[in-house]
Structure 1
Amino acid sequence: MVAVGEILLNALFQVLFDRLASPDLFSFVRQLGGGVDSELKKWEKKLRMIQAVLRDAEEKQLTDEAVKMWLDDL
């Protein structure tokens, strides 16, 4: 069974990805210049990696008690 916290965390990351991928945000960032665009892309990459780790952990928690405890603490 998936904990409520995990569902909320997953939803939070999905909202962040949706915001980062917004065409309006990219247009605004391009106007700012100064490397903000590359910084935004770095954050998007980091958040995608975090989401991948969380998805993997959600699957592994069914068979690995340590992973389940880690997710519960998170």
Structure 2
Amino acid sequence: MSRGRWQESSEAFAAEEQVRADGLARRCDEIVSTPGHPSLGSLHHYQAAYQNAAGNAAAHTSQPRRYGRPS
């Protein structure tokens, strides 16, 4: 796979993971803000999944090139 093609797939994965992280963050907020929410016992799983998705998004987002430095 060429570097450009890999970069595109990496950016697409980052975008998908960011969408997943956003959805998980909303779900965590919903669980925390609803007294007696049936998923309260699973909140730590949602939080871990959020951290995973957000970390994946950050790790696969291309970073700006620094002037004069090879990538």
Same fold (TM over 0.5): yes
- Could you give the per-residue CA deviations for residues 21-71 of structure 1, whole angstroms, max 9, x where no partner exists? 21xx2325761246311111111112222222223xx339x62xxxxxxxx
State the TM-score, normalized to the length of structure 2: 0.55
Higher RCO (CA < 8 A, seq sep 6+): 2
Q: Report sequence identity in percent.
A: 16
Point out where structure 2 has 5 or more consecutive residues left out of the alignment: 65-69
Higher helix share: 1
Aligned residues: 58
Point out where structure 1 has 5 or more consecutive residues left out of the alignment: 64-74
Q: Residue 53 of structure 1 aligns to which amino acid in structure 2?
A: A
State the TM-score, normalized to the length of structure 1: 0.53
Structure with larger Rg: 2
State the Cα RMSD in Å.
2.9
